[in-house]
Amino acid sequence: MSQPHFAGAEFSVIGLGRDGLCLACIIAEAGLKVYASDPDRELVYLSARASPPYHEPKLNELIKKCMNNGRLAISGNPREAVSKSSAIFITTPPTTDEAGKLDFTPLQDSCREVGMALNRGAVVIVKSLVSVGLTGSLLREVLEEASGFKAGKDFHLAYSPPRTRPGRVLKDLRDKPWILGAVNERSLAEASRVVGLVAPKVFGLPSLRAAEAVQLLEYLRMEVDLALANQLARLCERLDVDYGEVRNVLEKELGNTGLPKPESQTLHQLLTETIGESPSGLRLLKSARLVNEEMVKLAVKLTKEALRGCGKRLRRSKIAILGVSETPDSESARKSPVLKLLPALSRARAQIAVYDPKHNYRALQSIGYPAERSLSDAVKNSDCIIIAVPHKEFRQLTPKKLKTLTNMPAAVVDMPRILDGTAIEAKGLVYAGPGWRKKP
């Protein structure tokens, strides 16, 4: 990383959500003084005690370390934090109103607080999900009105999309390149110097709008790639080809087509609102979503067929579902496709148990999942195991362990195709998955 004249300066992060607090720690870890602030008193209280209301691996330990060495200060006074800073990151996320529309009022409020205490020559970087054009119009106006300064002249204004995933925010901030757009070339240069202190790599774009569009287009591509991967799996079934073998070649030689389900319902909502007036774009998104949602029906179909192979019926069978997160090795579960799978299985009066190592089982129970405390509790005496999410822990399941835990003869329905179907069937279990072809 470069060491520009911002080295030794003081920074602030406004917003103590998952992205904001992790970013503050990354800045402090780089040896810089950072003030992390939020108007939410409870969030400030919990964060300052290294116990924020969300889990990120190793975050609590990093908070303690950065506070103990004096590089991280957490407070409920954003203006005071900004007044001490030469660079400010605004990470306040949008909320959703009663009609399901995104509401950027909290982000506007944060910009107003920043503007009220902004120093001349400071760099302001918005790092929150926004609609295309918002930073250069509404947020710029709020900052200029509150500060009395002009963006691009008296202070530098830039935007960087938050390309992080729940449960992997620290890793993503450390490893993923940062996309950066600014109000003019000078602001881009200054913002690049700031970001260069903490980012592994910076990709500068010629405008704010271009940077704002990146995350939406990236999300749409993920949806389409996932739909393509799902369709390829179904096609392989018709061609009597094992998709697992074909996928290995596609991912290694032709680029990854087996992407996980895009993780953000907020992103989906924003993309839907953004391209709502573009018939071609909306058709593309709806078509991809339709294909991906059909995988729930396929999971039920494969479960029924696998149980029949065991001489059993879905009715009254015990089904263990492994994984409810929206993406591998992450925490978000409120919009998981498993929520659509549960009623489909329940209608057949199946007994369902759910386990996910990334979630507290009581928290899952509170949002409607029949969750168990451990993998063994969920799988014990089950007639069928459905692997729904390719968490790292599930990749390590052995055929011997599966056989020991289940009510033999039992079935394994591997939706992400992460296990060795041939080895599993060699142990007497029935294996099924999208595009699976049993070896002769």
- Please name the residue ranges forming H helices in 164-320: 169-175, 185-195, 208-238, 243-253, 265-274, 279-309
User: Token pair of 359, please?
Assistant: 């979630």
Instruction: Please give the order of strands across the beta sheet that includes 384-387.
Output: 351-355, 318-322, 384-387, 411-414, 430-432
Same fold, 10-206 and 231-432: yes
Answer whether residue 49 shows pLDDT above 70: yes
User: Based on C-alpha coordinates, what's the Rg of the chain?
Assistant: 24
For residue 267, the model assigns a pLDDT of 60
For residue 55, the Cα-to-chain-centroid distance in whole angstroms is 13
Q: At 167, is the pLDDT very low, low, confident or very high (cuts 50, 70, 90)?
A: confident
Q: How many CB atoms lie within 10 A of CB 5?
A: 9
Name the CATH superfamily, with its identifier, for domain 231-432: NAD(P)-binding Rossmann-like Domain (3.40.50.720)
- Tens of pLDDT, residues 280-321: 555 656 666 666 567 788 889 999 999 999 999 999 899 999
Answer whether residue 252 shows pLDDT above 50: yes
DSSP codes of every residue in 176-202: SPEEEEESSHHHHHHHHHHHTTT-S-E
Provide the pairing of β-strand 123-126 with 87-90: parallel
Q: Each residue of 152-178: b (16+ CB within 10 Å) or e?
A: beebbbbbbbbbbbbbbbbbbbeeeeb
Containing 14, the helix (H) or strand (E) segment is strand 10-14
Q: At 259, is the pLDDT very low, low, confident or very high (cuts 50, 70, 90)?
A: very low
Q: What is the amino acid identity at position 361?
A: Y
Paired with 290 in beta bridges are none
Paired with 185 in beta bridges are none
User: Token pair of 1, please?
Assistant: 């990383």
Would you list the domain boundaries of the chain? 10-206, 231-432
Please report, to the nearest 10 degrees, the dihedral formed by the alpha carbons of residues 43, 49, 54, 58 taken in order: 140
Answer whether residue 382 shows pLDDT above 60: yes
User: Token pair of 101, please?
Assistant: 């529309």
Tell me the C-alpha distance between 200 and 174, whole Å: 6
How would you class 100 by CB atoms within 10 Å of its CB: exposed for 0-12, middle for 13-18, buried for 19 or more? exposed
- Local structure of residue 84 (DSSP, 8 states): T
Tell me the C-alpha distance between 228 and 288, whole Å: 8
- Tens of pLDDT, residues 115-149: 999 999 999 999 999 999 999 999 999 999 999 99
For residue 425, the model assigns a pLDDT of 94
Tell me the C-alpha distance between 335 and 324, whole Å: 9
DSSP codes of every residue in 328-353: TT----TT-THHHHHHHHHTTT-EEE
Considering only CA atoms, which of 97, 113, 156 is closest in space to residue 15? 113
CATH code for 10-206?
Answer: 3.40.50.720
Q: At 257, is the pLDDT very low, low, confident or very high (cuts 50, 70, 90)?
A: very low
Q: At 227, is the pLDDT very low, low, confident or very high (cuts 50, 70, 90)?
A: confident
Q: What is the pTM of this model?
A: 0.71
